[in-house]
Each structure stands twice: as C-alpha cells, then as structure tokens.
C-alpha cells in the first residue's frame, strides 16, 4: 500500500491491549509502510446501542429534527464519513457467545443508513461505499470456521457487501482457549498469513 492509503482500523475486543484480534489487526496495519491510519476502538469509546429515539432521529425529516435528533444524526454522519474516507478497513473481531461483539453491532447500526451507505433500487439494495478492501482478523477460543456455529463470517461478509465492500479477506486464529499449544500454533499461523498479505 502507498503512503496515500488511508486505513480505518476498528478494534472491537473488550480486552484492550491484551486482545489477540486487536494485536493481529495492528500487526497487519504496522506492515503497511507509510499508510495513514485511523484507529476506532469500539470498546474504549462505545457507540450507543440503537434504540427507538436514535432510530427516530435517522428517519425524521431533516427540517423537523429536534436539537437532540440533530446531534444523533451528526454522530452517525461522522462515523460514516470516517468509513468513507478509508481505502482499507481492518477489523479485529473476537467471537462473543457465537456472535459479533455488541459494540460492533452498534457501530453497524449507526453506519448502515439508507441514502448514506446504501440505497434501495428497483433491482434491490445497492451499496454506496465502493472501491474499498476489508481485512477481518477473527479470533476464537474454539474451532468454528466452516461450521454452522460460525455466525460471524457470513454476517460480516453480507453486511460489507450490503454497503458496497465486496473485497473481503479473513484471517482466523482459532482454538485459542483449547491449550497453550493450540493457542500458540493458531496465532503463529495467523501471523504468517498476515506477513504474506503484507508482503
């Protein structure tokens, strides 16, 4: 990647600096020589969960929004602008109770807005966040990839495709809670894959 490339790194783990998904994401980002990087830590700075009032702000007519609703929309607009500025999205993704972290779901609920990141057409929905590449660094305590219990991979692919990001690469580190040997082996393979991707 060139020094003109802008990376948005999204960390979602509750474990801060001890997070394996965030560490793998950071390893990949560090290898991108000279790229501009924006880090959004959704655990350190949580996006509010979507509720009726926040959703109502999104669908209200702009000229009829209250000051509180305008603030909600401005916050969402800033998240969307940050996403659109990036050329590359790097997502650290731990598995929590067979799903994505709730703080990531909150972010998704604030950036998936009709007319902003997608639109409905006669031929179905069309993503408006195009021409970007996404890398997902997925860490799991058990072994789930390729099984019915992996609810993350399809969901993340579908969401990114829905908003227009078709080029998505997953790096998995699984079995991290099985044993020390399993953990180190999985992390080593993930690091090797990262180094190949970054070469």
The predicted structure's pLDDT at residue 198? 84
pLDDT at 51: 96
Residue 139 annotated as lining a ligand binding site: yes
pTM across the whole model: 0.95
Q: What is the Cβ-side half-sphere exposure of residue 79, based on CA atoms within 13 angstroms?
A: 23
The answer to the question of whether 141 is labelled as a binding residue is yes
179 belongs to an annotated ligand binding site: no
pLDDT tens by residue, the chain, 199 residues: 666 899 999 999 999 889 999 999 999 999 998 899 999 999 999 999 999 999 999 999 999 999 999 999 999 999 999 999 999 999 999 999 999 999 999 999 999 999 999 999 999 999 999 999 999 999 999 999 999 999 999 999 999 999 999 999 999 999 999 999 999 999 999 999 999 998 7
Is 21:92 a contact under the CB 8 Å cutoff? yes
pLDDT in the model for residue 3? 64
Residue 32 labeled ligand binder: no
Q: Please tell me whether 19 is known to bind a ligand.
A: yes
- With beta carbons less than 8 A apart as the criterion, state whether 87 and 133 touch: yes
Q: Is 2 annotated in some ligand binding site?
A: no
Q: What's the confidence (pLDDT) of residue 41?
A: 98
6-198, what's its fold?
Rossmann fold (3.40.50)
Q: Which two tokens stand for residue 199?
A: 């070469």
């Amino acid at each position: 990647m060139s020094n003109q490339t802008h990376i948005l790194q999204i960390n979602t783990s509750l474990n801060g600096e001890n997070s394996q998904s965030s560490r793998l994401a950071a390893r990949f980002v560090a290898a991108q020589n000279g790229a501009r990087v924006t880090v959004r830590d959704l655990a350190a700075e949580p996006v509010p969960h979507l509720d009726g009032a926040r959703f109502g702000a999104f669908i209200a007519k702009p000229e009829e929004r209250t000051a509180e609703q305008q603030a909600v929309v401005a916050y969402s607009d800033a998240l969307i602008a940050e996403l659109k500025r990036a050329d590359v999205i790097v997502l650290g993704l731990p598995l929590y109770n067979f799903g994505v972290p709730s703080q990531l779901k909150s972010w998704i609920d604030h950036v998936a807005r009709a007319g902003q990141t997608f639109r409905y057409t006669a031929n179905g929905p069309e993503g408006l966040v195009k021409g970007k590449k996404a890398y997902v660094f997925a860490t799991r305590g058990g072994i789930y990839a390729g099984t019915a219990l992996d609810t993350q991979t399809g969901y993340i692919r579908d969401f990114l495709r829905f908003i227009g990001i078709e080029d998505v690469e997953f790096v998995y580190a699984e079995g991290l809670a099985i044993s020390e040997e399993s953990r180190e082996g999985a992390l080593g393979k993930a690091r090797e894959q990262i180094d190949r991707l970054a070469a």
